[in-house]
Every structure is written in structure tokens, then in C-alpha cells.
């Protein structure tokens, strides 16, 4: 295991997603996670979706704009649009390889996922290599059990899991931390459905994002 000997021991976190649209189920748990693990910076990475998966309803540019509006003026967050700039599916592992080169071998770096993503992580491209580049911070999500449930994934999870957030800053990568984030039963699917039914989503996502959705006529029947 590589120990962090760099003077820069601030913890950088990356949070990837479709963000179709971004909502409080993304933002609130991450804000809580930042307090719990003393995260210094969270970079939001809206991703390009592989052709064989169901495509987002909003365009890449619209999803990017919604992410920017959601975090405008919030110093915890910044937005990185690199995965949208290339006309091919995003593989998290490849983005992490690039970001690791940019931030140096010793900077503690983490990738944030929800519990649903942890459970299906074994389907991700080169999933077993993720911890060679970052830690994983896992946020609880209603309806998903904590345990990954798939034997190779469960073994990997048990091997790398730590329960003390302070450990995340002592190493640049390689650990999994299960956070005590609030359970918010919100999904992009629910918001798109509510919009189709003409219902307000004002308690589910920031007002600036809902205004943009209205102005673009997004998610209508
Ligand atoms: P959809 O309903 O369109 O599939 P989604 O709301 O699940 O979308 P994504 O953009 O696909 O959102 O998710 C990005 C990341 O955020 C994933 O790691 C996912 O697990 C996590 N996430 C999304 N919603 C929540 C939530 N309510 N609580 C915790 N994690 C969440």
C-alpha cells in the first residue's frame, strides 16, 4: 500500500453521473459526505452514456448546464465537462487514469458513488482497477442494501473497506468508505416522470435547475 508523503493531503473527490437532471438526491448527501470525510473539493463529472444503455432525455449540453446551475456560487463544487467533450462513451477508469496523472501520484483522491452503483460495480469496465487510482466513497440510497451481494465484489469490498474517514487522507487511493449520508428517495427517473405528468419538482431539485428545465421544455410528454 502506498503511503501519502505529499504535503498536499487535501482530499479531492469526483462525482460522476448522467445528471438527467441533477437533483437534491445527488447534492445533499454529497454535502453531508464532505463534512463527514473533510472533503475539500468535489468535481462533478457529467458523463457520456454508452449507446447500448438507455440514452438521457436531455442533451449533453443541457445536462452540463443544469449541473453548472445547481452548484453556481457553492465553493465546494466545480464542474468538469471532459467526458462530454469526446464523442465516445465515458469509462470512469479512463477518466480516473487521466485525473491521477494531472493531480500527481500522492494526492488523496476519491470517487463518489451511490449504493445502487456499488451493487452493480462488477459490471463496470476494469472495475477491479478503480482502487488503483482512487478511494471509493459510497452514499446510502433508499431501497439498496449495504452489502454488494455478488461474491467477488463482496470479497473486494470487505478487503478494502475502512470505517474511519481519517484514513482516507493518509493514502492516495485504495480504500472504500461507506458514508452515513441522509437517505433521500429522489431519482432522475422520478423527476422525469413527474414532469411528464405536469407536476412540480420544486422540492426535489434547485430552483435554477427547474427554471432551466421549464425554459428548455425538457421532460414533457
Ligand atoms: P436515473 O433515475 O435517471 O437512473 P439517478 O437519479 O439514479 O438517475 P445518476 O445521475 O444516474 O442519477 O446518478 C449518479 C450517481 O449518483 C450514481 O452513483 C448514483 O448511485 C448516485 N445517486 C443518484 N441519486 C441518489 C440518491 N437519491 N441517493 C444516493 N445516491 C444517489
* pLDDT tens digits for range 29-83: 999 999 999 998 999 999 988 666 788 999 999 999 999 999 999 999 999 999 9
pLDDT tens for 142-156 read 988 877 878 999 999
pTM (2 decimals)?
A: 0.94
Pairing of strands 11-17, 39-46: parallel
Compute the C-alpha angle 153/154/158, nearest 5°. 120
For residue 24, the ligand 1 atom closest to its alpha carbon is 27
Highest mean pLDDT, choosing among 2-16, 63-77, 133-147: 63-77
pLDDT tens for 80-128 read 999 998 888 889 999 999 999 999 999 999 999 999 999 999 999 999 9
Q: In whole angstroms, what is the distance from residue 6 CA to residue 170 CA?
A: 10
- pLDDT score at 88: 82
Give me 28's grid cell: 445533499
Compute the C-alpha angle 180/186/190, nearest 5°. 160
Q: How confident is the model at residue 15 (pLDDT cuts 50, 70, 90)?
A: very high
Mutate to test the pocket of ligand 1, among 17, 36, 218 (most ligand atoms within 8 A of CB): 17
Mutate to test the pocket of ligand 1, among 23, 25, 194 (most ligand atoms within 8 A of CB): 25
Q: How confident is the model at residue 210 (pLDDT cuts 50, 70, 90)?
A: very high
Pairing of strands 135-139, 11-17: unpaired
Q: Is the pLDDT of residue 163 over 80?
A: yes
Residue 131 burial (CB count, 10 A)? 18
- pLDDT score at 51: 66
Mutate to test the pocket of ligand 1, among 30, 114, 192, 209 (most ligand atoms within 8 A of CB): 114
103, 134 contact by CB (below 8 A): no
Give me 84's grid cell: 462530454
Q: Is the pLDDT of residue 181 over 90?
A: yes
For residue 191, the ligand 1 atom closest to its alpha carbon is 2
Residue 54 burial (CB count, 10 A)? 8
Q: Whose CA is nearest to atom 3 of ligand 1?
A: 188
Write phi, then psi, for 81 (nearest 5 degrees).
Answer: -100, 15
**From ligand 1's centre to the CA of 65, what distance in Å?**
18
- Give the burial string for 84-118 (b: 16+ CB within 10 Å, else e): beeeeebbbbebbeebbeeeeebbbbbbbbbbebb
Pocket (CB within 6 angstroms of ligand 1): 17-20, 25-26, 29, 113-114, 116-117, 139, 141, 184, 186-189
Question: What residues does 45 pair with on adjacent strands?
Answer: 16
Q: Is the pLDDT of residue 192 over 60?
A: yes
- pLDDT score at 50: 67
Q: In whole angstroms, what is the distance from residue 12 CA to residue 102 CA?
A: 12
- pLDDT score at 86: 85
Amino acid at each position: 500500500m502506498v503511503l501519502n508523503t505529499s504535503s498536499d493531503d487535501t482530499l479531492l473527490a469526483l462525482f460522476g453521473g448522467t445528471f438527467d437532471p441533477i437533483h437534491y438526491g445527488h447534492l445533499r448527501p454529497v454535502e453531508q459526505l464532505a463534512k463527514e470525510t473533510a472533503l475539500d473539493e468535489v468535481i462533478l463529472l457529467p458523463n457520456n452514456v454508452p449507446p447500448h444503455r438507455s440514452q438521457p432525455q436531455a442533451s449533453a449540453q443541457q445536462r452540463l448546464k443544469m449541473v453548472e446551475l445547481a452548484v453556481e456560487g457553492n465553493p465546494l463544487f466545480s464542474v468538469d465537462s471532459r467526458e462530454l467533450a469526446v464523442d465516445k462513451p465515458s469509462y470512469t477508469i479512463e477518466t480516473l487514469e487521466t485525473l491521477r496523472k494531472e493531480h500527481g501520484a500522492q494526492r488523496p483522491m476519491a470517487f463518489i458513488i451511490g449504493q445502487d452503483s456499488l451493487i452493480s460495480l462488477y459490471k463496470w469496465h476494469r472495475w477491479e482497477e478503480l482502487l488503483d487510482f482512487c478511494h471509493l466513497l459510497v452514499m446510502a440510497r433508499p431501497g439498496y442494501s449495504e452489502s454488494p451481494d455478488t461474491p467477488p465484489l463482496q470479497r473486494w469490498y470487505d478487503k478494502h473497506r475502512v470505517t474511519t474517514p481519517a484514513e482516507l487522507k493518509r493514502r492516495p487511493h485504495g480504500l472504500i468508505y461507506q458514508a452515513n449520508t441522509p437517505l433521500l428517495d429522489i431519482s432522475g427517473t422520478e423527476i422525469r416522470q413527474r414532469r411528464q405528468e405536469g407536476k412540480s419538482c420544486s422540492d426535489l431539485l434547485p430552483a435554477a435547475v427547474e427554471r432551466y428545465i421549464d425554459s428548455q421544455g425538457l421532460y414533457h410528454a
